[in-house]
Structure 1
Amino acid sequence: MRARCLIVDDEAPARAELRYLLDTFEHVQVVGEATNAEEALTLLRSLHYDVVLLDVRMPGGTGLEVAAALREATHRPKIIFTTAYPDHAVEAFDLEAVDYLVKPFDAERLGRALERALSGAPDESEPQQPATGGGSQGDALGRIPVQRGDRTVLIDQSSIVYASAARGYSYLQLAQERVLVSLSLNELERRLRGHFFRAHRSYLVNLDHITELVPDFKGALVLVMNDHQHSKVEVSRRQARELRRLLGM
């Protein structure tokens, strides 16, 4: 059974390019195109699609609004945003998008997004041993690139309070904001040096930014961090034992 795909983009050349790329995947079939948000929602309510390639900025409503409207749908397709604008990625992942592709992209990049959409994103596995140091030589600067519009900003690792997994990407929580980076949590774990600890399969914390450890009734821990909202990060039971050992508790 081929996956049914809807293309949503207000520009005809962009739709044609997406259809051309999708033709290279035998397991995917394009069964509809929409040029705006209203058309997209009409089609999505009339047929069960497996995946939607969704532009962000369109006349009459944004792709983000379409994704938000689909949250309550009984059959919710997987959403891959395809856009020329990189500055909406955080909002897209908050709406549970599978991927966020910035134009131009090739068939290989689209293929990875489709694989994630149709087979499920690989879990960020919990490490056998905690990461408390040792980046590779290529990561000697200890900085993480973050896209801000058309600029790339280098975030110093010491300013990262913690990182959380987001379907093959990661959020970095800084003191006053949260940003999205195109690195998985496992990749971040390999790159970051210093006092970083894999507290949970979904969290990597900077030990220098922990202000409080709160035990829970299951034998695990909750960490209170020193960002502006005093975020709480769960520590798995196995990693809680290791963290207590590291802290001499």
Structure 2
Amino acid sequence: MLEVIICDDNLVFRDKIKTIIENTILRENLDLQLALSTENPEEVINYIEKNNITGIYFLDVDLKSDINGIRLGEKIRELDSKGFIIFTTAHMEMSYLAFKYKVEAMDYIIKDEEDFKQRVNSCLIKAYNTYYKEISKEGYISINEDSRIINIKLCDILFIETSITAHKIRVHEENRQIEFYGNLKDIQKELTPNFYRCHKSYIVNKDKIREIDIKNNKIIMVNEEECYVSFRYKKGLWAL
């Protein structure tokens, strides 16, 4: 899932850009999560390292910290090579530093410009569309959840199971679960060969298996979640 992170030392401005982003996500029905809004660049770095995300980053250039926005952008680029970095600044003359440190910024937005809101909206939507255009090459499924369309990268799925709610199934990723109306038989038709029906209630991504507990008929995923393998499908699993 694509996540949005804001880093700005000015609380008033940080809240302003946060409101713009939240309104855009709701208005455009974007499958985005505003994951972090902070004044602390170290908090941003720690979050990326811990969660291994692809993000859209709105960074103030002058953070009044040991790490300025450009340096933070440089570190982000090392950790998230596919992320989208947008600098918000009152000092356009500092933009040359982004080239010096090879940050590859998507845009620079002047804080006091009249079209600031429109520029933020434009960057958010452009980054979103670029990201999902790229992952379409890798393979994804689109599902309807309430009033939103959610695009899920196949490579992010650990396993899919039937829900305790009738006529629903649940997709498990490492950091979220998504439940929607459907059945395993239909969803399996949209999946790539690395997905295996290991049980009447489970489809597993064999690339995300950490180990198989043969004695207890369990599959343990890379994030320690467990799903079951039935006797009927066990032999086929060993052959994968």
What TM-score results when the alignment is normalised by the length of structure 2?
0.45
